[in-house]
Amino acid sequence: MNDVLHFLLTAPAEPPVLDSVDTWWRRHVALSSRFSAPADLALAGGFLADRLGFAFASGYHAAHRCLFPSLPADRPIALCATEPGGAHPGAIETKLTDTGAGPRLSGTKTFVTLGTRAELLLVVASEGQDAEGRNRLRMVAVDAQRPGVRLSALPELPFIPEVPHAELSLEDVAVAPEDVLPGDGYARYLKPFRTVEDCHVQLAMLGWLLQVGWRFGWPDEVREELLALAVMMRGLAQADPAEAATHVALGGGLALTKRAVLERCEPLWASTDALTQERWARDRVLLGVAGKVRAKRLVAARQRLQGA
């Protein structure tokens, strides 16, 4: 903890220009050799990002490092869940089958973050249904260059356009048995990833805001509040993402962070340069993405605790 705090308080506040997703990735990998804890990597990656889009990318990838620690740290990874019907367990139609010659993957994913840059794909697939008619999901690690894998770039989003997205097509892709990760694909991976991603993306955003604040001379008390929020979010990032108590605390943490960003920091953007202001006006939409999903998660967590 002290290492990343020292970094945030003493590193040069003028980040290098990250002119492409490849440049961002090289910087992110270099940071991973210093910050082994995914939460610290998210903070540092956000601090050294020259825009919110690349801060988000560092937080997104740090979330993978947290949930999939055994996967290689030097290969960009993308989680592939969303299908035409959504990312709910019942909407997953991508199939993992075994005809006797080994597992095979077939299906389509409609929205893969960092998809065109990913080298390793984490694909949520169905093995069929259980006795109650529910999807039995598995998580499968697939090399993006494997025969039958096709990634097609999607148009830029209206916010954080630097972060590429793709559609994924899987046509009878051969996978090794060891590529099928152990455990239930939903309970062990997909469901907790939503919580883990929230924590690490928030950390990266706070790291980026700290850098903006240092660079443009925001008041000490505002920067110190952002730092305190980062310490809080770092603790939540290390809590059990399956626990209802974690979701309740995270709900409060997200509300505090949003209030600080939209209220405490709002009048300070006038002190930044024109390009920073323009990007923030465009990218601040990110704060509201998946807001309904988070609200439902918080309500469910409260109910679980009340029932307990």
239 CA to centre of own chain? 16
d(CA 242, CA 46): 26
d(CA 308, CA 301): 11
Cα 251 from Cα 185, distance rounded (Å):
25
Is 163:56 a contact under the CB 8 Å cutoff? yes
CA atoms within 13 A on the CB side of 72: 11
Per-residue pLDDT of the chain (308 residues; tens, 9 = 90+): 789 999 999 988 788 899 999 999 999 999 999 999 999 999 999 999 999 999 999 999 999 999 999 999 999 999 999 999 999 999 999 999 987 788 999 999 999 999 999 999 999 999 999 888 899 999 999 999 999 999 999 999 999 999 999 999 999 999 999 999 999 999 999 999 999 999 999 999 999 999 999 999 999 999 999 999 999 999 999 999 999 999 999 999 999 999 999 999 999 999 999 999 999 999 999 999 989 999 999 999 999 999 86
- pTM of structure: 0.96
Non-local CB neighbours of 300 within 8 Å, separated by 6+ positions: 244, 247
In a 10 Å sphere around its CB, with 0-12 CB exposed, 13-18 middle and 19+ buried, how is residue 111 labelled?
middle
Domains annotated for the chain, with CATH where assigned, are: 2-67+188-307 (no CATH), 77-180 (2.40.110.10)
203 Cβ neighbours under 8 A, 6+ residues apart: 39, 42, 43, 46, 59, 62, 230, 233, 234, 237
Ordered DSSP codes for 199-265: HHHHHHHHHHHHHHHHHTT--HHHHHHHHHHHHHHHHHHTS-TT-HHHHHHHHHHHHHHHHIIIIIS
